Amino acid sequence: MSKIKQAHDKIFKNVFADRKNALNLLGNFLPANILNRLDLKQMVYEKDTFVQKQLKGYYSDLLVTIPLIDSDESVKVYFLFEHKSFSDPDLPLQLLRYIVEIWTHYRKQHKHVKLPLIIPLVVTHAEGSWKKARLSDVVDIPGEPFKAYLPDFEYLLFDCIQEDLNVYDLEVELKSLFMLWKYAHRPNFFEIVREVYRMLRQAYPEMEPRDFLIALAQYLYFTRGSEE
């Protein structure tokens, strides 16, 4: 994996391994009728990664388990970060592979129970117009009657380039990173960097997020001005 792609992977895990950031994105982005049923305070990180070795330069992932409120059941949320400079039309195929791998891993540990529901949440900062493809967009379907045999599914997509970040009540670390991604190729990028620094100083006057600032500085050092 190149240093640029390692930097993408490292900053993603630095931010989303922090519970408050992962919970904040879920709280802002999950549909209300699902969010209201989740006991987010009991969210647990899983240790496993499901991205194949040859694709680690393009994807990073995190898996969490969240219990349902007043229930013994739980769901899993699979965070997949796509750090390509272009959108991948085969993304639904990759997601299907990871969902099956998560289920296969779960089945080895839990022989006689139903498999958990998995909610895929994809975070991307690919340039250009992103078309959110489903599996039915990738597979050649001869006609309507054949759709019943396709394992189509929905996923959530947070496109940092297209989203209006001001619409969301984001943690300062999340908003800082998303702003850097959103404006990475804009002429006013360095103004955005200064704005991010001001945001962090205002949120943390004592400069508490020192590690995060160092991580951001390292990320910018390895990625700014380089093409993927």
32-45: pLDDT as tens digits: 999 999 999 999 99
Question: 144: which 2 tokens?
Answer: 């309507």
Range of the domain at 89: 3-166
The stretch 46-69 carries a mean pLDDT of 84
Q: Is the pLDDT of residue 85 over 90?
A: no
Q: How many distinct structural domains can be found in the chain?
A: 1
Domain-located, residue 136: yes
| Residue 62: per-residue pLDDT | 93
**pLDDT value, residue 10:** 85
Domain assignment of residue 35, yes or no: yes
**Most confident by average pLDDT, 77-86, 115-124, 216-225:** 115-124
- CA 29/CA 86 separation, integer angstroms: 23
Query: Considering the domain boundaries, does residue 157 fall inside one?
Result: yes
Q: In 26-50, which positions are buried (b, 16+ CB within 10 angstroms) versus exposed (e)? A: beebbeeebeebbebeebeeeeebb
pTM, to two decimals: 0.88
Cβ neighbors of 162 (< 8 A, separation 6 or more) are: 130
Q: Is 153 exposed, middle or buried (0-12, 13-18, 19+ CB in 10 A)?
A: middle
C-alpha distance across the termini of the chain, in Å = 12
The pLDDT of residue 49: 82
Phi and psi torsions of 190, nearest 5° = -70, -25
Pick from 13-27, 145-159, 195-209: least confident: 195-209
The pLDDT of residue 123 = 92
- Mean pLDDT in residue range 183-192: 89
Across all residues in the chain, what is the average pLDDT?
87
H and E: helices and strands count for the chain: 8, 5
Q: Does residue 107 belong to any structural domain of this protein?
A: yes
